[in-house]
Structure 1
């Protein structure tokens, strides 16, 4: 493909996998003309029912990785709330498609994981560019 994801369970490998999933779901394409980033969450979410199930499962993967990192339960619940809120919004036919552009649950969850890793695993910190 052009890049490989690490397979380890160390914080650096997990962080890279979560960042890659977030980018795929939220920022993998740009809308021409307005230069607004969108991802598979917005595109697959246009498919009724099945699209919302797929994107919710992909968002739940980020929560699963965070749980394996040992994030506190309250942060895991917060992340599950973000994914659940996105799934509930996505179930509403037109409103859900518009909400995918505005409410980026995976980006919010990535932020939670990064804050935790920066505090508890400073060696996993990367320079954001």
Structure 2
């Protein structure tokens, strides 16, 4: 029987360093946010949904808010030392949610089912034991990649809103 990872019977786990304790606290906070966004509301039949799906029901603004909160989790993962590959996978989850979520009705249902934030926390949890091996250079590169991808998502949202405004403007000219 073990008391924790890497300990033998009868040995106590070494105390966490201050940095590790802060990282653990940050991960717990991110996990609570992901749960709130994706699975905080129980439904009959055992299914759970979160507020992200409801936020996404608000035209234009809802998708932008949801994407921002999801991107926040990815940015924090970068600050915790997540690898560039992991951050790209996390941003892909967010990007899928943003693109499909922008489709009226179908996208709203998809937002309830996809749960990008829970997926990203599962990815981060699998990565954390290795994160202590990440160097500062990789962390800076990963943060830059996340910021660029977040800017790309924001650009997609702005272009989508602009296209809708243009479409409505053209329709009003025809009517």
Instruction: Give the TM bin, normalised by the shorter chain.
Output: 0.7 to 0.9
User: Which of 83, 90, 110 is the aligned partner of 1:79?
Assistant: 90
| Number of aligned residue pairs | 113
Rounded to whole Å, the distance in 1 between the matches of 2:108 and 2:21 is: 34
Contact 1:27–1:37 under 8 Å retained in 2: yes
Q: Larger % of helix: which? A: 2
Contact 2:49–2:113 under 8 Å retained in 1: no
TM-score normalised to structure 1 length: 0.80
Query: Structure 2: which 5+ residue stretches go unaligned?
Result: 1-19, 133-175
Rounded to whole Å, the distance in 1 between the matches of 2:131 and 2:70 is: 23
User: Which of 35, 38, 44 is the aligned partner of 1:23?
Assistant: 35
User: Which of 22, 27, 50 is the aligned partner of 1:39?
Assistant: 50
Does residue 105 (structure 1) correspond to residue 116 (structure 2)? The answer is yes
For residue 101 of structure 1, report the CA deviation from its aligned partner.
2.0
Moved over 4 A (4+): none
User: Which has more radius of gyration?
Assistant: 2
Give 1:127's aligned residue. none
Query: Structure 1: which 5+ residue stretches go unaligned?
Result: 1-7, 122-129
Contact 2:82–2:131 under 8 Å retained in 1: no
Map of 1:106-125 to 2, 5 A cutoff? 106-120=117-131
- Higher RCO (C-alpha under 8 Å, 6+ residues apart): 1
Give 1:89's aligned residue. 100
Contact 1:86–1:105 under 8 Å retained in 2: yes
TM-score normalised to structure 2 length: 0.60
Rounded to whole Å, the distance in 1 between the matches of 2:48 and 2:38 is: 7
Contact 2:81–2:131 under 8 Å retained in 1: no
Rounded to whole Å, the distance in 1 between the matches of 2:112 and 2:52 is: 9
Contact 1:11–1:117 under 8 Å retained in 2: no
For residue 10 of structure 1, report the CA deviation from its aligned partner.
2.4
Rounded to whole Å, the distance in 1 between the matches of 2:94 and 2:119 is: 10
